[in-house]
């Protein structure tokens, strides 16, 4: 499949039916799998043979969908998780333990920021945050002897900053640690971070991959290029015997291509159990089948909306990396030549009151705590996700009270612009 174009892989990768088998990926809605002898099953438990015994560990439906996502990202192996949060936690916790340190871009999703700065800190894992725009020297200064991973988002949610992947990969590799990139917003249709040097890619498949607001989910893809054994002192979990699997050394037994995902499945999924249901994996695959058709339309609509908003007198500022006026335009031209995503943010003159009045008038854009859906939606952080903050705190957090985030769906762009125009007229 890897020699086929990405448009074909969105539709067909991950599952090839045999003669007379179902054309569509079957939903294997079974918790368990039957064996003729205990010996057969024992080999699976010992990781001596691959196969299925319990859906918390692996399920065929999920594996087909994970294989498609691995193919799209150009990775060697992948796994599905119950949510994007679980994907980022597993990706980091697979190589970090109490006493480890992470270097992370400060411009990341709020849920991920809490995960690493609060919850993982309680596990003894510390993080140094750096601006995605930092110089190479500033990035260098963030590393410590116990640094085990570097983390960032290709296009950050909601700040819409664009990560210089090569800069972060170079620094990570100089220190013998992998770069983990959350590629939720561009999807592999618009950017494949592994091609730019990232080692591990994560997704909230809840967003564009599912694309229809139907199923919460996540995915982790390993590029298969990071040489764990060359840095064995840093990654004992991959490079020394796992006593819970009869002394298997993951990096030896499964190599660079299989060690990371096998360990995350056999240890973290076994112990934390954040599985995606086969039913949700099936829905996710329906979304993936049209991802390559939907992404260009999301980008086309967002570009038109951003260009329109930039011309409006009620609008103070627009953030969208497809606008030449945007500070991330140049870096986006490099990493996102076909455009980034459908999310645009802008600030209205008139603050919270104007934003509230404006949003009340919208008819095509619905008010939702969601983005990256076929249907257009919008959110004013000051009156929703950030409503506990006062005006000063909002400005400090980079989310002024008049900030509105719109996620452009795949409707007709003229209807989207028309809806925004009539709502802007109401606040004149």
**For residues 248 and 408, which CB has a smaller minimum distance to ligand PLP in the complex?**
408
Binds ligand PLP (CB under 6 A): choice among 61, 100, 107, 157: 157
From the number of C-beta atoms within 10 Å of its C-beta (0-12, 13-18, 19+), residue 313 rates as: exposed
Least Å distance, CB 139 to ligand PLP, is 21
Binding status of residue 222 toward ligand PLP by CB under 6 A:
no
Cβ atoms of 242 and 265 within 8 Å: the answer is no
**254-288 exposure pattern, b = at least 16 Cβ within 10 A, e = fewer:** bebebbbbbbbbbbbbeeeebbbbbebbbbbbebb
**For residues 15 and 89, which CB has a smaller minimum distance to ligand PLP in the complex?**
89
Binds ligand PLP (CB under 6 A): choice among 47, 57, 67, 216: 216
Neighbouring residues of 161: CB distance < 8 A, sequence distance ≥ 6 = 105, 107, 132, 133, 155, 328
Instruction: Please tell me the total number of residues recorded for the chain in this structure.
Output: 428
Cis preceding linkage at 158, omega within 30: yes
3-state secondary structure of 229: helix
**For residues 206 and 314, which CB has a smaller minimum distance to ligand PLP in the complex?**
206
CA–CA separation, 288 and 9 (whole Å): 9
Q: Which helix (H) or strand (E) holds 348?
A: strand 343-348
Binds ligand PLP (CB under 6 A): choice among 63, 73, 164, 182: 182
Query: What tokens were used for 369?
Result: 């705590």
**For residues 71 and 85, which CB has a smaller minimum distance to ligand PLP in the complex?**
85
Interface region with ligand PLP, contact rule CB under 6 A, candidates 6-14, 68-76, 109-117, 160-168: 109-117
Binding status of residue 106 toward ligand PLP by CB under 6 A:
no
Binding status of residue 104 toward ligand PLP by CB under 6 A:
no
**For residues 238 and 371, which CB has a smaller minimum distance to ligand PLP in the complex?**
371
Tokens 């411009």, residue located: 107
Interface region with ligand PLP, contact rule CB under 6 A, candidates 105-113, 225-233, 254-262, 349-357: 105-113
Interface region with ligand PLP, contact rule CB under 6 A, candidates 28-36, 82-90, 236-244, 283-291: 82-90
Least Å distance, CB 153 to ligand PLP, is 5
Q: Beta strand 126-130 with 77-81: parallel, antiparallel or unpaired?
A: unpaired
Least Å distance, CB 82 to ligand PLP, is 8
Binds ligand PLP (CB under 6 A): choice among 83, 321, 345, 376: 83
Cβ atoms of 160 and 345 within 8 Å: the answer is yes
- Tell me the number of residues near ligand PLP by CB under 6 A: 15
Binding status of residue 85 toward ligand PLP by CB under 6 A:
yes
CA distances to 61, 279, 324 from 25, rounded to whole Å, are 7, 11, 43
Binding status of residue 112 toward ligand PLP by CB under 6 A:
yes
Least Å distance, CB 428 to ligand PLP, is 33
Least Å distance, CB 204 to ligand PLP, is 3
**Of 288, 132, 265, nearest in space to 203 by CA:** 288
Least Å distance, CB 207 to ligand PLP, is 6
E strand map for 213-319: 218-222, 315-319
**For residues 238 and 341, which CB has a smaller minimum distance to ligand PLP in the complex?**
341
Binding status of residue 345 toward ligand PLP by CB under 6 A:
no
CA–CA separation, 279 and 282 (whole Å): 5
Of 183-212, binders to ligand PLP (CB under 6 A) are 184, 204, 206-207
Tokens 């796992």, residue located: 242
**For residues 106 and 262, which CB has a smaller minimum distance to ligand PLP in the complex?**
106
Binding status of residue 153 toward ligand PLP by CB under 6 A:
yes
Closest residue to ligand PLP, judged by C-beta, is 84
């Amino acid at each position: 499949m890897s020699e086929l174009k990405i448009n074909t892989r969105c539709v067909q990768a991950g599952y090839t039916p045999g003669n007379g088998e179902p054309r569509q990926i079957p939903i294997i809605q079974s918790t368990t799998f039957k064996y003729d002898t205990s010996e057969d099953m024992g080999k699976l438990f010992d990781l001596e043979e691959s196969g299925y015994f319990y859906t918390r560990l692996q399920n065929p439906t999920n594996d087909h969908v994970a294989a498609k996502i691995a193919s799209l990202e150009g990775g060697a192996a992948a796994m599905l998780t119950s949510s994007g949060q679980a994907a980022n936690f597993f990706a980091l916790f697979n190589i970090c333990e109490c006493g480890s340190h992470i270097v992370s871009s400060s411009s990341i999703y709020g849920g991920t920021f809490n995960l690493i700065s609060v919850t993982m800190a309680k596990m003894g894992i510390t993080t140094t945050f750096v601006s995605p725009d930092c110089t190479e020297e500033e990035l260098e200064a963030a590393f410590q002897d116990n640094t085990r991973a570097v983390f960032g988002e290709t296009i950050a949610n909601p700040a819409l900053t664009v990560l210089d992947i090569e800069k972060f990969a170079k620094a990570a590799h100089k220190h013998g640690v992998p770069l983990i990139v959350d590629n939720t917003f561009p999807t592999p249709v618009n950017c494949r971070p592994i091609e730019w040097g990232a080692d591990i890619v994560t997704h909230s498949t809840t967003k564009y991959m599912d694309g229809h607001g139907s199923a919460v989910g996540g995915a982790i893809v390993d590029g298969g290029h990071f040489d764990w054994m060359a840095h064995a002192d840093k990654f004992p979990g991959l490079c020394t015997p796992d006593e819970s699997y009869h002394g298997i050394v993951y990096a030896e037994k499964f190599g660079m291509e299989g060690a990371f995902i096998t360990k995350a499945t056999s240890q973290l999924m076994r112990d934390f159990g954040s599985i995606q249901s086969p039913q949700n994996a099936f829905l996710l695959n329906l979304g993936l089948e049209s991802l390559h058709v939907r992404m260009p339309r999301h980008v086309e609509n967002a570009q038109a909306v951003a260009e329109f908003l930039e011309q409006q007198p009620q609008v103070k500022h627009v953030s969208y990396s497809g606008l030449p006026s945007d500070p991330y335009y140049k870096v986006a031209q490099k990493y996102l030549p076909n455009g980034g995503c459908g999310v645009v943010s802008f600030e209205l003159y008139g603050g919270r009151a104007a934003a509230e009045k404006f949003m009340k008038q919208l008819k095509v854009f619905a008010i939702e705590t969601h983005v990256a859906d076929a249907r257009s939606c919008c959110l004013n952080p000051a009156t929703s996700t950030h409503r506990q903050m006062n005006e000063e705190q909002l400005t400090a957090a980079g989310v002024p009270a008049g900030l509105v985030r719109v996620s452009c769906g795949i409707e007709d762009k003229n209807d989207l612009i028309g809806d925004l125009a009539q709502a802007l007229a109401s606040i004149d």
